[in-house]
Amino acid sequence: MTRHGTVVSLLTDFGLRDPYVGIMKGAILRRFPGANVVDLCHDVPAFDIEIGARFWAAARNHFPVGTVHVGVVDPGVGSARELLVVRAHECLWVAPDNGLVDEVVRSASDVAVRTVDLAGLGLAANSTTFHGRDIIGPLGAMLAAGTCSFESVGPGRGYEPREVDPSPRVLFADGFGNLITSVEAAEVDGVSVFDLEGHTVRRVATYADAERGQPAALVNSYGLLEFAVREGNAAEHLALGRGARVRWEQNS
């Protein structure tokens, strides 16, 4: 079954300065000209699997059902690490077995995971450095084209996401300087004041409710607690970033 127009989304840490992403797209279209290749993000910090995993989780439920999400954040390229295909959230997720799928798996109620049998699929690297072009992208194309099904990529296996630091903290600053935390909306239901490394920050419902120039806390579009400065840059304003600790008193 050829599924013309099937979306293949790309998540990498390649950046856009070089032609790597463009060449990977070419390789996907060469295998499946009907693919609708969409950039999810190419500026995952280099080799930062944890951030990549969060970005993928943020994309779940927003792409078309049946989307093939291809992820290449891969410090182990060229080593013996395996490739996985995960079926979750009504989509497929293709990635090295290094934790990139962890948050997608953790957030799904129904998950199936398979190890890719590269030899069985006729995929072999032309280079030892660019698996996005030579293996992972082409595999995504085959899955999108339907020339290879989830069931036929290789043997099924279990999958246990890695443990994560459970302490409430800043995960990263986004391009606006908003400080995105690890705190899920449900954990802070009803909480109206936070302590961020000694700064007392009040909660607002939306950016427009925040006082201009003052930090405010809100639940963002990822469903995570975020510290922001309205029309400003919270990371610079507070001189804080990844790892900054968040505290609060649970409302009684």
Q: In the complex, which residues of this chain contact a copy of itself (CB under 8 A)?
A: 5, 7, 9, 11, 14-23, 25-27, 29-30, 33-34, 36-43, 46-47, 55, 58-59, 62-65, 67, 75-79, 126-130, 133-134, 174-176, 205-209, 218-221, 223, 230-231
* CB-nearer residue toward a copy of itself: 114 or 133: 133
**Could you tell me if 192 and 176 are in contact, meaning their C-beta atoms sit under 8 angstroms apart?**
no
Could you list the beta-strand ranges (E) of the chain: 7-12, 36-41, 68-72, 83-88, 91-96, 112-115, 156-157, 170-173, 179-184, 193-196, 199-202, 215-219, 224-229, 246-247
* CB-nearer residue toward a copy of itself: 80 or 239: 80
State the nearest-atom distance from the C-beta of 44 to a copy of itself, in Å: 9
* CB-nearer residue toward a copy of itself: 58 or 188: 58
Q: Reduced to 3 DSSP states, what percent helix, strand and coil does the chain have, rounded to the nearest 5?
A: 25, 25, 50
The whole-angstrom separation of Cα 168 and Cα 6 is 38
> Three-state SS for 194?
strand
State the nearest-atom distance from the C-beta of 252 to a copy of itself, in Å: 26
* CB-nearer residue toward a copy of itself: 132 or 168: 132
State the nearest-atom distance from the C-beta of 111 to a copy of itself, in Å: 20
State the nearest-atom distance from the C-beta of 239 to a copy of itself, in Å: 19
